[in-house]
Amino acid sequence: MFFDHVFWTLSLALAFEYIWGDPKSNWHPVATLGNFAEQIEKLLWKNSRFSGFLAWFLVFFGSLSIFITLWYHLAYDHAWLSVIFEALLFWFSLGWKSLIEHTQSITSANNIEEAKAKVSMVVGRNTDQMNQQDIHKASIESLAENTSDAIIAPLFWFILLGAWGAWAYRIINTLDAMWGYKNEKYTYFGWFAAKIDDIANFFPARITALLMLLQQPRLLNKIPSIYHQAKQHLSPNAGFPETAMAFLLGIRLGGDVVRDTGIEHRAYMGDNPQSITTTHIQQAIHISNRCVYTMLGLTYTGILYTSFMHML
């Protein structure tokens, strides 16, 4: 029974992701979640950590409660309906296909202005003065970080806590994306959302980096250097997949970036300051996909092993 439920939940979710990806609709649960969070923010915003915690608490547990109620009334007593419901829930938590497609679209932009517009959709920095190198670098950094945030992390929490764990993670990650900024409006209000997201991504970010490095075992002896550089990143987690990606591609990422609030001074990642091209972006996409395939292979192996142990 364990094998049937977990296997089909995961497989159906991946099939939905492969076929439809991330549907662009205001009725998508993540879009609905964002609208709900915006309304709560309007009601509760104050420049304080307590207000931010209260808003986070209401959105997180309110969103979970709605889906748990739906599941209980629609699928609790029906095994296959439960599988389909949880597969949808896990699918809503993923962003694999959209991440790859959007990154690829940057490489096929007709001009630099179009490329800037596409990059601005995935990075929280000012793209007005970006040159081609900045665009390529930002694309790879975003891809590396979101390989963890949008794919490996939901899968990690699915393994630990099932579809509900993946959905809980997606709520956490969405609230961090909305409120986890260090600016005048959100430094205090978004503090709790940012900290919880840091905790939720601690292991997935490091697992993602390791899965990347396993693609080139010769780099494993550079783990101390990679770890040291990753720890210099302003984010406690993003530096790990970004640094691993930089070493795999033989390029240098990081450095100062321009945000609306001013210049953000960031450490470099990687040890080769060569020119970054669209070829590097394509290679990064292959690295990201292989990372996910490896994680899925390990997950299915774990499902089979667990089912076998249950039969003994």
d(CA 44, CA 38): 10
Q: pLDDT tens, 69-98?
A: 999 998 888 889 999 999 999 999 999 999
Report the candidate in 179, 191, 149, 186 with the shortest Cα–Cα distance to residue 166. Answer: 149
Q: What is the mean pLDDT of residues 33-54?
A: 96
pTM equals: 0.95
pLDDT exceeds 80 at position 240: yes
DSSP string, 12-47: HHHHHHHHH-S---TTSHHHHHHHHHHHHHHHH--S
pLDDT greater than 70 at residue 3: no
Work out the mean pLDDT of the chain and round it to a whole number: 93
pLDDT at position 6, please? Answer: 92
Tokens standing for residue 40: 């709560």
> What pLDDT was estimated at residue 79?
87
Lowest mean pLDDT: which of 71-75, 97-101, 213-217? 71-75
The length of the chain is 312
- Residue 274 has a pLDDT of 84
Q: Give the pLDDT confidence of 7-24 residue by residue, as tens digits.
A: 999 999 999 999 999 877
Question: What is the 3-class SS of 81-130, one letter each residue?
Answer: HHHHHHHHHHHHHCCHHHHHHHHHHHHCCCCHHHHHHHHCCCCCCCCCCC
pLDDT given for residue 305 in this prediction: 86
Q: Assess contact for 115 and 290: CB atoms under 8 A.
A: no
Confidence of residue 2 (pLDDT cuts 50, 70, 90): low
Of 89, 97, 81, residue with least CA distance to 17: 97
Question: Rounded to whole angstroms, how far apart are CA atoms 67 and 73?
Answer: 10
Residue 31, token pair as written in the block: 């879009």
